[in-house]
Amino acid sequence: MALVPYDDRDGWIWFDGKLVPWRDAKLHVLTHAIHYASAVFEGERAYGGKVFKLREHSQRLIDSARILGFDIPYTVEQIDAATMETVAANGAPDCYVRPIAWRGSEMMGVSAQQSKIHLAIATWAWGNYFADKEKGIRLTWAKYARPAPNTAPTASKAAGLYMICTISKHEAEAQGYADALMLDWRGQIAEATGANVFMAIDGVLHTPKPDCFLDGITRRSVIALAKNRQIQVVERAIWPDELARAQEVFLTGTAAEVTPVAEIGEHKFTPGAITAALMDDFGKATRGEIDVKL
Ligand SMILES: Cc1ncc(COP(=O)(O)O)c(C=O)c1O
């Protein structure tokens, strides 16, 4: 299938305060963010025209920017409103939403204290993040580890942190896998390149503590949904050899939603009842049919 480039589509992008025609949402090549990764972003999904956990995402965007040392010049209420305006303008009630904030072109060099801060929001129709999602995806191990919190701003959804994700995902895809599972700097299981991970061991869900990677909004929703079903959830350090004891494994994320995992390296899993129940519950939660409190 021919690729439709993301800079050559119809629609509207909210750019620094107003909707502009899609193809006009352009940057100069001397933009600090593309040289020094001074950008933070969000990934959201709208279901039936309503963005799931919009306020949590807009707040995380603001918090991510503060961790990188800049303030987005809009309030959380203004970002929520701009997001809803963009979803409505593009006319696709089920869509992916991508807000991004970045340092502009006023200064070049590592220091960029006087750069203007920009904000843009785009939306587009996006189906399953993983092909063959339902039957379970195959993962390999990533070459890179998630960095320690004193090595990088790991609590921020910062563009720079995705450098090792793209390298790892490309290498996995080149070997025929859907994605790569990343360890952290201690050698414990961390997450996939764009999603958190859970495993079911004898009816109990285990997931790594998000102390050096993103505490996903989907992750928190799935924990609440599991507890709602009286499924015990343990957040703890998990070592890779513990995968040998897991019966089910799944990923969670805005793009991935709840995606069963069939294979990680030498370990094989069969998507089972817990995964199926949480996929179903998450689908209902995104459409407001189950209330999830984070
Ligand atoms: C690296 C990474 N981890 C985890 C997640 C899951 O976060 P959320 O559920 O908030 O989308 C994402 C984004 O989807 C991500 O990019």
- Show the domains of the chain with their CATH numbers: 12-124 (3.30.470.10), 133-286 (3.20.10.10)
CA 112 – ligand 1 centroid, Å: 28
Q: Which two tokens stand for residue 111?
A: 């220091």
> For residue 3, what pLDDT is reported?
87
Query: Residue 22 above 70 pLDDT?
Result: yes
Residues 6+ apart with CB under 8 A from 57: 42, 44, 51, 97, 99, 217
Query: Residue 2 above 90 pLDDT?
Result: no
- Band of residue 68 on the pLDDT scale cut at 50, 70, 90: very high
CB distance 272 to 248 below 8 Å: yes
- Band of residue 118 on the pLDDT scale cut at 50, 70, 90: very high
User: Is the Cβ atom of 191 under 6 angstroms away from ligand 1?
Assistant: yes
Question: For 28, which DSSP code?
Answer: -
Q: What is the mean pLDDT of residues 127-143?
A: 89
Instruction: Tell me, rounded to whole angstroms, the distance of Cα 7 from its chain centroid.
Output: 21
CB distance 117 to 246 below 8 Å: no
pLDDT tens column, 192-202: 999 999 999 99
pLDDT tens column, 205-232: 999 999 999 999 999 999 999 999 999 9
CB distance 64 to 157 below 8 Å: yes
- Band of residue 1 on the pLDDT scale cut at 50, 70, 90: low
CA 233 – ligand 1 centroid, Å: 19
Q: What is the mean pLDDT of residues 137-144?
A: 97
157 included as an active-site residue: yes
- State which ligand 1 atom lies nearest to the alpha carbon of 220: 9
> For residue 43, what pLDDT is reported?
98
User: Pocket of ligand 1, candidates 254, 258, 278: which has the most ligand atoms within 8 Å of its Cβ, to mutate?
Assistant: 254
Give the integer Cα–Cα distance in Å for 226 and 249. Answer: 14
> For residue 133, what pLDDT is reported?
83
User: Is the Cβ atom of 216 under 6 angstroms away from ligand 1?
Assistant: yes
- State which ligand 1 atom lies nearest to the alpha carbon of 219: 9
> For residue 111, what pLDDT is reported?
97
Nearest CA to 250 among 205, 187, 290, 209? 205
Range among 41-45, 127-131, 134-138 rated most confident: 41-45
Which residues in 221-235 are b (16+ Cβ under 10 Å) and which e?
A: bbbbbbeeeebeeee
Instruction: Return mean pLDDT, the chain.
Output: 96
83: helix, strand or coil: helix
Residues 6+ apart with CB under 8 A from 118: 15, 16, 101, 102, 103, 104
Q: What is the mean pLDDT of residues 247-254?
A: 98
Q: Which two tokens stand for residue 253?
A: 């994320």
> For residue 86, what pLDDT is reported?
98
Q: What is the mean pLDDT of residues 153-160?
A: 98
User: Is the Cβ atom of 190 under 6 angstroms away from ligand 1?
Assistant: no
Alpha helical stretches, state H, the chain? 32-36, 54-67, 76-90, 163-174, 217-228, 273-286
Q: What is the mean pLDDT of residues 9-21?
A: 98
Percent of the chain residues past pLDDT 90, beyond the cut: 94
Residue for token digits 């089920």? 94
> For residue 252, what pLDDT is reported?
98
CA 267 – ligand 1 centroid, Å: 23
Q: What is the mean pLDDT of residues 176-203?
A: 98
CA 107 – ligand 1 centroid, Å: 31
- State which ligand 1 atom lies nearest to the alpha carbon of 254: 11
> For residue 132, what pLDDT is reported?
76
CA 273 – ligand 1 centroid, Å: 24
User: Is the Cβ atom of 208 under 6 angstroms away from ligand 1?
Assistant: no
Query: Residue 294 above 90 pLDDT?
Result: no
Query: Residue 147 above 70 pLDDT?
Result: yes
Q: What share of the chain is helix, strand, coil (3-state, %, to 5)?
A: 30, 30, 40
Catalytic residue among 135, 157, 284, 293: 157
Give the integer Cα–Cα distance in Å for 38 and 160. Answer: 8
Q: What is the mean pLDDT of residues 110-123?
A: 97
Residue for token digits 């703890």? 236
